[in-house]
Amino acid sequence: MGQNAIDLGVWFRPDVLLVDWLLKGPIDGIRVSKAVRAAHSETHTIPITGFASYDLRQVALKVKTFGFFEKPLDFEKVHRAIDKAVETPALRADPEVGLLEYDTRGQIVDANSKARKMLGLPVPLTDESRLSNTFSYRSICALRGANRD
C-alpha cells in the first residue's frame, strides 16, 4: 500500500497529500511523505493517525509536514487545513532526487527541476511546463503508453 501511495504521489504531483501514518506493508505514511517530497518538494503533506503520541508529532515536525491529525478526524478541521495548504505557497527548494519521464521511444517528455538542472535544461519558474498542465489526462495516458504500468 505504501509503495502504491508513493507511485501515485510521484505520478500525479498533488499540491496536498493526506496520508495515513499506518499503512499495510513496510512503508508508513511518513516514508510516503518523505519520498513524494523528495521528488516534488512543493507538495504539502498532512499525516493522520489513530495512535498519536508526542514522538509521532515530533517526527512529523522533523520531516516538515504541513499538519498532523489524530483519528477520529474532525473533517471541518481537515478541510480547513487542506484549503490552507493549497493557498500556502510551497517552498521552492530543489527536490532531493531527479526524475525523468520518457515515452516508449526514449524521448524525455517531462523532468522535475532537479533532473532539469542535472541535464542543463531550463528550469521553469512556474508549473506551466508540467506535463499534466499541458495535456489532458487521456493524452498523458496515451503518451505514457506501456510506461503507465
Asked whether residue 128 is assigned to any structural domain, the reply reads yes
Query: Does one domain contain both 8 and 70?
Result: yes
> Within a 10 A sphere around the Cβ of 97, how many other Cβ atoms?
13
Query: Does one domain contain both 13 and 70?
Result: yes
Look at residue 48 in the predicted model and tell me its pLDDT.
Answer: 93
Which segments of the chain have a pLDDT < 70?
A: 91-94, 123-149
Give start and end residues of each alpha helix (H) in the chain: 2-12, 29-39, 54-62, 75-87, 113-119, 131-134, 137-144
Query: Does one domain contain both 76 and 114?
Result: no
Name the pairing type of β-strands 108-111 and 44-49.
Answer: unpaired
Name the pairing type of β-strands 69-70 and 108-111.
Answer: unpaired
How wide is the angle at C-alpha 133 spanned by C-alphas 109 and 30, nearest 5°? 85
**Cβ–Cβ < 8 Å for 12, 38:** no
Query: Does one domain contain both 23 and 83?
Result: yes
Look at residue 134 in the predicted model and tell me its pLDDT.
Answer: 43
pTM of the model: 0.66
Look at residue 96 in the predicted model and tell me its pLDDT.
Answer: 77
Query: Does one domain contain both 83 and 125?
Result: no
Continuous segment of H or E residues that includes residue 108: strand 108-111
Query: Does one domain contain both 118 and 62?
Result: no
Structural domain span for residue 126: 100-148
> How many structural domains compose the chain?
2
Give, as one character, the DSSP assignment of residue 105: T
Query: Does one domain contain both 112 and 76?
Result: no
